[in-house]
Amino acid sequence: MLVRKFNPNDLKRVHEIESMSFNRSYGINMFQQLYDMGVGFLVAEEEGYVIGYVIFWIKYENQGHIISIAVDKNYRRMKAGTQLLVKAISILSLLRLDTIYLEVNENNEAAIEFYKSFNFKVDRIVPGYYDNGDGAIVMYLHLNRAKVSG
């Protein structure tokens, strides 16, 4: 498995993975716009086939933010998500940020377990954060406690 920078040839696959992973969809144009804005955007590739992506950026001077991460359903529990997040955390660590934040749907047990496996902690719950009324759990990771390998 290879983790590399996103390029616009990956747009269609990234959008497919997003569509199978979330009820709501940012859509292809949003991915293009995020890329044009210069956010961190990585994909995981298995034998030339894109199987997952992560998008991240610096929200405030000292805070990283995971915007989105998803892995193709057929390739889950094979550590693609781990490799993507490890790489994103490594890059954000190089930028000397203090903390990484993210929001996760309170009903998304797989993702919550995934983030806990990285030592992300619960910061707070934001009721009604998502369009369908679901709440979000805000999680954070202090970078000096991050897992940056494996």
Ligand X SMILES: CC(C)(COP(=O)(O)OP(=O)(O)OC[C@H]1O[C@@H](n2cnc3c(N)ncnc32)[C@H](O)[C@@H]1OP(=O)(O)O)[C@@H](O)C(=O)NCCC(=O)NCCS
**Residues forming the site for ligand X (CB under 6 A):** 21, 69-71, 76-82, 104, 108, 110-111, 113-114, 117
Q: Which residues of 24-45 are buried (b: 16+ CB within 10 A; e: fewer)?
A: eebeeeebeebbeeebbbbbbb
Least separation in angstroms between residue 24's CB and ligand X is 11
Name every residue whose Cβ is closer than 8 Å to that of residue 109 and which is 6 or more positions away in sequence: none
By beta-carbon proximity to ligand X, the closer residue of 93 and 106 is: 106
Least separation in angstroms between residue 37's CB and ligand X is 20
Least separation in angstroms between residue 71's CB and ligand X is 4
Least separation in angstroms between residue 112's CB and ligand X is 8
Both tokens of 51, joined, read 């199987």
By beta-carbon proximity to ligand X, the closer residue of 35 and 114 is: 114
Both tokens of 85, joined, read 């997040």
Both tokens of 48, joined, read 């030339």
Both tokens of 104, joined, read 């996760």
